[in-house]
Amino acid sequence: MSQIGKVLAARDAYPRGVMAVMQQHYGALRRALDQNQCVAANNSANLLWMTRMSEQIEPALNPGNVDPRFHAYARKLDARLAAARALNPASCPALRVAARQIGARCAACHAVYR
């Protein structure tokens, strides 16, 4: 069984916790943007939480980087988060596009590994 397979089979608390926090802040960002509540500080905070959690995906699920494909999926999410953080956090339309692109990175990895 692959390393990720073992972690998934164990249903470890840590990766699930990382993902739960990620979901919380992704959902909060999307909801705020959908409702046109563009509070820059909140947008920045949600993106920062997601970035911190994204940095923990591999320590939690791919320790030692044994799965290069998983690594690529994780890095693509990081790249989207970095692009979103580079935007003006008060710019709802731009962030809306960025948030959709972030969501696509979540879905792409989940389609293969979740």
Q: Where do contacts with ligand HEC occur on this chain (CB under 6 A)?
A: 8, 11-12, 15-16, 19-20, 22-23, 26, 50, 57, 61, 70, 73-74, 77, 102, 105-106, 109-110, 113-114
SS3 89: coil
C-beta of 82: minimal distance to ligand HEC in Å? Answer: 13
Residue with Cβ nearer ligand HEC (41 or 114): 114
d(CA 96, CA 84): 10
C-beta of 75: minimal distance to ligand HEC in Å? Answer: 8
Q: How far is CA 90 from the centre of its chain?
A: 20
CA dihedral 61, 65, 68, 73 (to 10 degrees): 40
